[in-house]
Amino acid sequence: MVKRIALNQVGYIADMPKTAVIVGAADVFEIVGAESGKTFFSGIPCDPVSDEASGDSVSLIDFSAFNLCGEYVIRAGRKKSCVFNISRSPYNKLKKGLLKGLYYSRCGTALDKRFAGDYAHGVCHSELAPLLERPSQKLDVSGGWHDSGSYGKYTVCTCTVLAHLLYAYKLFPNAFEDITGIPESGNGIPDILNECRVGLEWLLKMQARDGGVYHKVVSINPAEVCMPEDDEMEQYVFPRSHQAAACFCAVTSLASGIFAEFDEEFSARLNEASINAWIWIINNQGFEAAENPPSVAASTAGDFFDYNFDDDMFWAVCELYEATGDETFHEKLMELCKQISATGFSNRDNGGFGALCYLFGKRPRDKYTEQLIKVQIRIKADNLYSLSQKNGFGTAKAPEDYILGSNMYTMTGAMLLIAAHILFDCSDYLIAAHEQLNYMLGKNPNGISFVTGFGESCVRHPHHRPSESDDIEEPVPGLVVCGPNKDFSDEVAQWNIPGNAAPAKCYCDIMHSYTTNEPSIYCASSMIFVTGYLCSVSGIQ
241: left (phi over 0), alpha (psi -120 to 50) or beta: beta
What is the count of structural domains for the chain?
Answer: 2
Position 299 scores a pLDDT of 45
Final residue of a structural domain among 352, 380, 408: 380
- Within this chain, do residues 352 and 226 fall inside the same structural domain, yes or no? yes
- Strands 12-13 and 84-87 turn out to be parallel
- Within this chain, do residues 42 and 164 fall inside the same structural domain, yes or no? no
Output 80-85 pairs: Cβ under 8 A, ≥24 positions apart: 80/5, 80/32, 81/5, 81/6, 81/7, 81/20, 82/7, 82/9, 82/442, 82/455, 82/456, 82/457, 83/9, 83/34, 83/456, 84/7, 84/8, 84/9, 84/10, 84/11, 84/12, 85/10, 85/11, 85/12
Does residue 353 contact residue 345 with C-beta atoms inside 8 Å? yes
- Within this chain, do residues 255 and 316 fall inside the same structural domain, yes or no? yes
- Within this chain, do residues 366 and 238 fall inside the same structural domain, yes or no? yes
Position 302 scores a pLDDT of 63
- Residue 508 covered by a domain: no
In whole angstroms, how large is the CA radius of gyration of the chain?
23
Position 470 scores a pLDDT of 93
- Within this chain, do residues 141 and 96 fall inside the same structural domain, yes or no? yes
- Within this chain, do residues 232 and 123 fall inside the same structural domain, yes or no? yes
- Within this chain, do residues 267 and 246 fall inside the same structural domain, yes or no? yes
- Within this chain, do residues 184 and 324 fall inside the same structural domain, yes or no? yes
Residue 299: count other Cβ atoms within 10 Å of its Cβ: 13
Position 536 scores a pLDDT of 94
- Residue 7 covered by a domain: yes
Position 105 scores a pLDDT of 98
327: left (phi over 0), alpha (psi -120 to 50) or beta: alpha
- Residue 347 covered by a domain: yes
Does residue 509 contact residue 146 with C-beta atoms inside 8 Å? no
Q: Which amino acid appears at position 234 of this protein?
A: E
- Within this chain, do residues 41 and 178 fall inside the same structural domain, yes or no? no
Question: What is the domain extent for residue 9?
Answer: 1-88
- Residue 190 covered by a domain: yes
- Within this chain, do residues 221 and 73 fall inside the same structural domain, yes or no? no
The CATH number that applies at residue 4 is: 2.60.40.10
- Residue 515 covered by a domain: no
Final residue of a structural domain among 88, 122, 154: 88
Please list the residues that pair with 56 across neighbouring strands. 51
Q: What is the mean pLDDT of each run of 10 residues along the chain (541 residues)?
A: 95 96 96 96 96 97 96 95 96 97 97 97 97 95 94 96 98 95 96 98 98 95 92 94 97 98 98 98 88 64 75 98 98 96 95 98 98 98 97 97 97 98 97 98 98 98 96 96 95 95 98 96 98 86 41
Please list the residues that pair with 405 across neighbouring strands. none
- Within this chain, do residues 83 and 133 fall inside the same structural domain, yes or no? no
- Residue 55 covered by a domain: yes
Q: What angle do CA 357, 361, 364 make, to 5 degrees?
A: 115
Q: What number of helices (H) and strands (E) belong to the chain? A: 15, 15
- Within this chain, do residues 103 and 234 fall inside the same structural domain, yes or no? yes
What gap in Å lies between CA 103 and CA 39, rounded to an integer? 41
Q: What is the pTM of this model?
A: 0.97
Final residue of a structural domain among 349, 380, 411: 380
Does residue 403 contact residue 504 with C-beta atoms inside 8 Å? no
State whether residue 405 is helix, strand or coil.
coil
- Residue 485 covered by a domain: no
The CATH number that applies at residue 138 is: 1.50.10.10
- Residue 530 covered by a domain: no
